Amino acid sequence: METIRLNDGVEIPVYGFGTFQIPADGSTYKAVREALDLGIRHIDTAVAYFNEEEVGKAIRESGIPREEIFLTSKLWLQDYGYEGAKKGIETSLSRLGLDYMDLYLIHQPYGDVPGAWKAMEEAKAEGKIRSIGVSNMTPKIWKNFVPQFDTLPSVNQMEFNPYCQQKEIRKIMTEAGVQLEGWGPLGQGNKDLIADPVIVKIAEAHGKDVGQIILRFEYQERVIISPKSTNPDRIKSNMDIFNFELSEEEMKQIRALDTGKSCFDHDAPGVAEMLIGAFDVHAND
């Protein structure tokens, strides 16, 4: 699988497998094992997905050398601040049953982000994390927090699909040498996106399905993508995007679909309070 070199020198596979909303009832273990068996080597989880244990077990029992698998997890709001983040990092490592994480992200950018970032920098220096980054940082949030960091994030994981192309933050990140990862690459079930006549026409021209066209567009935009599915056939078909190429005209047509809007406004008042009350990541500690 092709990789991209991050600004800290770490190589990250361009294509991964997401585990958001896959339950920890054996489903996550099964899906991750399927993804790994199909050749995917980048797995994305988070403490707030409540499935780190099954992700770690699938990696450990896959028979694949640990250094060949790129694992991402994320720190939740309850563990922000320096001391909280130190404990959160150890908690994730314990739940995963692994010695290190390849990428660790600030999941939601509110509260004592600088304190958490300092703990993440230290964990990276200690070898517990290979690369550190952020998630859901809009231009406004980026300008508030990133200047307080001693080191730049390696990635910013944002919502990304043809209807939400994040042009403003991508410009800021490109200038800073920070890589974009896209969550919700297939639009989080947006029926309008899946039925968009521009994408449908391009799919017909290439003999591909709409999802494959969307993922290929994102790949050609140099966005790291990690689509999710629990269906083995869908996991396999989502990967079938490397044997064709969209023309520049087709890319322009899809770029023109951008609405400039996200499905979730991270700059809206009250978002931090809502999110911190959304999950208790230590409920079962």
Mean pLDDT (10-residue bins), the chain, 285 residues: 96 98 97 97 97 98 98 97 98 98 98 98 98 98 97 98 97 98 93 97 98 98 96 96 98 97 91 90 84
pTM (two decimals): 0.96
103: left (phi over 0), alpha (psi -120 to 50) or beta: beta
Closest CA to 224 of 180, 188, 262: 180
Q: What is the pLDDT of residue 189?
A: 83
Give the pLDDT of residue 277.
86
Please give the pLDDT value at position 284: 79
* Residue 281 resides in a domain: no
pLDDT at 1: 84
Question: Could you tell me the residue range of the domain that residue 119 belongs to?
Answer: 10-276
Write the CATH number for 244: 3.20.20.100
Query: What total number of domains does the chain contain?
Result: 1
Q: CB atoms < 10 A from the CB of 180, how many?
A: 20
- Do 187 and 193 touch, CB atoms closer than 8 A? yes
- pLDDT at res. 263: 86
Helices (H), the chain: 27-37, 52-60, 82-96, 113-125, 139-145, 167-176, 191-194, 197-206, 210-220, 232-238, 248-255, 271-276
Confidence (pLDDT) at 80: 96
Identify whether 4 is part of a domain. no
16 falls within a domain: yes
Q: Is the residue at 283 inside a domain?
A: no
pLDDT confidence of residue 246: 98
Q: What pLDDT sits at residue 188? A: 87
Residue 49 annotated among the catalytic residues of the structure: yes
Residue 175 lies in a domain: yes
With respect to residue 118, please indicate whether it lies within any of the assigned structural domains.
yes
In a domain, 104, yes or no: yes
Q: What is the pLDDT of residue 56?
A: 98
Longest dimension (CA), the chain: 54
pLDDT for 279 equals 85
The pLDDT score that the predictor gives to residue 206 is: 98
Q: Choose, from 15, 29, 49, 163, the residue flagged as catalytic.
A: 49
Residue 1 falls within a domain, yes or no? no
